[in-house]
Each structure stands twice: as structure tokens, then as C-alpha cells.
Structure 1
């Protein structure tokens, strides 16, 4: 299992990203991930870092579909691969219906249908050649300029079983968030495997240039895992609330957590955030305790965990988040193999 990290969302100047990017270069970190940038554009930031000479594998997850056409999404992901010379994983999600209405004036008629069309178009564009798709939500008749570039994998953000089934069918990667190891093991991973069984029949791999006779493989699984080290002047509830509280107000996140056995009140209270700690979603403790919980993801076959220190960054500052990451990463086993590129 590989270890990666995600940039906290409160980075407002590009130079604030440098310590996190340098950690990716000099430690066991495999990939530098970003969520959808609402202050600094995520793709621009990776290109800025590359201009400084910090060229690392990057991941984007999840980028909101209503804010980018499939063609723009494919071009930007490959642009980062060209700028950095390293592999890219670009994962997408529809966002909530309220966000869809805010960004594009309407919600998708079918959330899963929109995701299917979007991912298939992006994958086909990146595979090369003319892409002609006329779907219910997205229509494309175009191709990217033919250029050799490092690999770009295309994925979906996965919260619940039906999206996991779809990701198994059409995606290269699946990114999970607010999912305990037990929820992934019991619900999401079986659905990803089941979805992958229909991959060849549906022609998803053939679209991306794969051998249609090959045995289908489930998407690689990346689990975003919120973490914080225990210490003086810290409590698990306040850090979990800082890092995850905004998501706990969204109905689709509350539903996913309910399915995993964590029932929330939805009132933005620290008590709800504390339930994430008790349910094994937000990991809080010593370095040894956190690695013991991360090993649960390794045991069920997760390919990559992304250390998510947003709670620390928002509550204690970016420097404190970097220090937490340094201490956790120092204890990662097998540094040489963990930091290899795809």
C-alpha cells in the first residue's frame, strides 16, 4: 500500500503548497493530491510547482464535473502530466444537486448517467483518436492534439455502492472519502469488483485501448483518510469538526455515513464529528495508533491511502499540519518501494 498526502484547502498562496510538495519528494509519499481548488486552481498550482523544479506525481480528486467540460478536463489533466513529466490521476464527481444547480442552473437528470458519460469521454480523449459521443448530458466530437505524455488515469469519487459499481465498470481509479476500512471492505470494494466484471462486456477497457480479451481488473482504490496526531491543546472532536464538518451537512455524505453505521444529527455539532472518530473514519492518536488503523486499509487491499490533515491545518495552521505529516511519514515502512511512480 502506498502513502500519499493531500493539500489542505486553506492554501491561498502558491508558496504555501511548497512544504507539502517537498514532503512528496523527500519522503515515502507517492502522490500529491488536491481536491477541487476553490481559491487556487489545482492544475495551475501543480504547473507552478513544476516551474520551481518540484515535479511530482499528482492526483486530483474529486474535481467537480459541472465546472469543467469533459474536453477541458482531459486537456488540463494531460497538461499537468506534460508539465511535471509524472503520472496523473484525475478523479471526478458530480457534487451535490444543490451545487449542480448553483454552477450550471440545473441538476443532472441522472447522477450516475452523467458520471458514466463524463468519464468515458475523458478516457477516450486521453486514449487518443477521434472521440464522438452524444449522451443525455454530454456530447463531444473532438480529439486532443497528439502528444506523448506520462500516463493519466481517470477515476470517480465513490461514496456509496451504486457509484462503486459504476466506477468498477468505467474508471481506472476510485477515490473514497469518509469511509472506514470496514465500510470499504464490506460495501465499496465488493461493488467495485462486481462492476469490473462487466467492464469488457460494456467495452470500457476497449475504449481506452486495453485488450478486450484480458481479465477485467477493478479500479485502483485510493482512500482519503483524515488524520491528526494527539497532543496538548488538541481534542479529537474539534479537529474532526474542522476537517470534516462542512461535509457532514450534505445529505449525500450523511447518507453514506449512515450506510456505514454512523448516524448523524446533521446539526453541524462537535458531537457529530466525534462520531467519525468513534466509527474509525477520522483517525486520531499517536503515530503508532494511527499506523495501526491505517494497516486496516492495507489488510483489505486498498492500493493507496491519502493522509488528510485538513482538520489540523484549519484548526492549528499549515505548519502544524506539515509537522503531523512528517511524524507520520517517518514511520512508514518500506520507503523505497512506497515512493515509486506508476
Structure 2
């Protein structure tokens, strides 16, 4: 059965800004609250703050960027959040863009897949076995980690293209997509996950799709909302390549044209509750185990009250 969750559509400057969304996750039909990478406050700390304030809910990071933390620190943060919240945690990671890797590390990873494999190897050994002895090209960790009672921690990987999906099938618990149309999930992501899992002799990871969307209204411009939500992604080469593979052409010279293409290709969904419900069912039919509602465009254009109301209406319509 497909579950429905939501992405907090805000990168908080102060952790208390997340609390209204944590409250929504606690009393609504939402399965989990997600947060993406923030450039000021750390999502693991934001979620822990919410738990300390009494909003103890399942959480997921979709996705935090590997260059910002060693996998040992990632294991500590994921473990700490699970203990603090008392609920399962999906600790999702990705390498980020080559440009970001260069800005933080001095040079991009020679092999994106190789770095990701090492990262997950270290994290899993620490979280599940309590010790690791790994000397790699990208990460080295020879240490122990106390295995203590806690809710489950799933290691997730951000997945856009087939090779990363196959790797996620081999090593991850969860594959997390962003801006991927339903046919692409069905025809590319899910088969590659299954292929990687079969090669490794393990179960196929869960598929989580983070879907940008907005309810239609007379005073709303869907192209504006799609642009607010996703222009930065369409300018990154790995997103542009994924979108091209899914039949959506983008250009760094034409942000509005990119938003129009996202709408036409159903990478960004817009419509009334019935229309959005039908489009989201396409993701469920494509193999998504968890659908994450992303109303970032609404939040950026209309603010907190509008985004909270939007999520409440959508969850009430689909998460039953």
C-alpha cells in the first residue's frame, strides 16, 4: 500500500519555524515529514528540536549532501534523531552536483557511484554491526559504534538516473527521487532498482517519490509556481539529463520555458483535488511505495498559512 507524506516547504533559519509542519505531521494523515538539504540549519537538528518540543513524528531527509559530513557523523546524526523522536528515520543522502563537490572538497568525486557505495558501506556497518574497518578512495573509517536500542534507520539514496538506481538496489534501503515523472519512475527507476537488488541477492529497496505540485485556483499562475519550486534544479546538469531522459527538454537560458516543460511533462502537477489525486495514483501504479507532497512553490509565493492549508487539503484527499 502506498503511503503519503509531505516535505516541509521551508529551509528554516530558526528551528521553531519547522514546528507548524511538525504539528501537521503529528495530527494529520501524513505518514512522515521530510526535509531537504538546508544551507543554514541542519535538518537532523531541526527534526530533533521538533521532537524536543513534543512533536515526535517519523522523519526523512531527502536528501542531505554527502560532502557536508563524514559517514561516521551521518550515522551518529541518524541514530540520535531516531532516539530523540522515538520513530523511524529515513536518512537520505546524495553526492550533490559536481560543482558543489568542488566548492566544498576542492575537487569532485572521481566516481560518483564509488563515493556513494563507500558512504553507505561505512554507515551500514556502524549502524547495524557496531564497527567498521574500511579504507577506501573516498572515505576511511576504522572505529566502533555502540549498538543501542532505537527505532529503525533506513539508509536512503537520492536517485535520478539508471546507474544510481541500480546502485541503490544493491546497497540502500530506500531510493528517493525528486522531480521524476511517473512514467520515468515506472520504466527506468523501478526496473533498475530491481536489477541491482537481484544482482546483490537482496530485497528491492522502497521507492519514495518527492512530487512538486499545487492546487489550481483562479488567482494562481501554474508556470510561476513550477518555476519557484524547481528552477534551481532544472539548471543542474544531472537534473537536466534525467528530465531529458524522461522527454522533458530544459535550458539554462529559459527558466520560464523550463517551468512550462515541467508542467507539460507532469514533473510538476497542477489541478484540482480530483485531478491531483489521479495524477498521484499514477505514481502509485508506477511502483512508488511512498509519495511525498512538495508544495514549495505555494509556500514561496503565498507563505506559511497557504502551504499548511494546501498540505492539509491534499492529505485529506489522498492519504486515506
Q: How far apart in 1 are the matches of 2:84 and 2:130?
A: 22
**Displacement, 1:228?**
0.6
**In 2 relative to 1, CA 172–187 (structure 1 residues): closer, same or farther, beyond 3 Å?**
same
After superposition, residues 315-330 of structure 1 pair within 5 angstroms as 315-330=301-316
Distance 1:9 1:102 in 2: 24
Distance 1:9 1:3 in 2: 19
Question: Within 5 A, what are the aligned runs for 1:284-303?
Answer: 284-303=270-289
Mark the runs of 5 or more structure 1 residues left unpaired by the alignment: 201-215, 335-342
Aligned to 1:259: 245
- Aligned pair count reads 319
Contact 1:10/1:313, CA 8 A, preserved across alignment: no
The SS at the match of 1:40 is coil
- Output the CA distance in 1 between the equivalents of 2:45 and 2:62: 15
Give the structure 1 partner of residue 132 of structure 2: 131
- 1:34-89 CA-to-partner distances (Å, cap 9, x unmatched) read 11121211111111111111000010111100000000000000100010111000
Query: 2: distance between equivalents of 1:50 and 1:333?
Result: 23
Q: CA deviation at 1:333?
A: 4.8
Give the aligned partner of residue 33 of structure 1. Answer: 34
CA distance in 1, matches of 2:281, 2:147: 42
1:187-225, CA deviations, whole angstroms, 9 ceiling, x for partnerless residues? 11100000001223xxxxxxxxxxxxxxx2111000000
SS in structure 2 opposite 1:198? Answer: helix
SS at match of 1:29: coil
State which of 261, 264, 268 in structure 2 corresponds to 1:282: 268
**Could you give the per-residue CA deviations for residues 223-243 of structure 1, whole angstroms, max 9, x where no partner exists?**
000011111321110000000
Q: What secondary structure does 1:142 align onto? A: strand
Shift of 1:10: 3.8
1:16 aligns with 2:2: no
Aligned residue in 2 for 1:107: 108
Shift of 1:146: 2.8
What's the counterpart of residue 234 of structure 1? 220
Contact map agreement 1:10 1:314 (CA 8 A) in 2: no
SS of residue in 2 equivalent to 1:76 = helix
* Matched-pair contact (CA < 8 Å) for 1:248–1:268: no
Query: TM-score if structure 2 supplies the norm length?
Result: 0.97
The aligned counterpart of 1:89 is 90
Matches within 5 A, 1:135-150: 135-150=136-151
Matches of 1:231 and 1:12 in 2, distance apart? Answer: 30
Structure 1 residue ranges (4+ consecutive) displaced by more than 3 angstroms after TM superposition? none
Deviations 1:121-153 (A, max 9, x none): 111111033211111111111121231111101
Give the gaps of 5 or more residues in structure 2.
none
Cα RMSD of the aligned pairs, angstroms, is 1.1
Alpha-carbon contact 2:11-2:38 (below 8 Å) kept: no
Does the 8 Å contact 2:235/2:251 carry over to 1? Answer: no
Deviations 1:258-278 (A, max 9, x none): 000001122242121111111
- For 2:31 and 2:269, the matched residues in 1 are separated by 20
TM-score (norm 1): 0.91
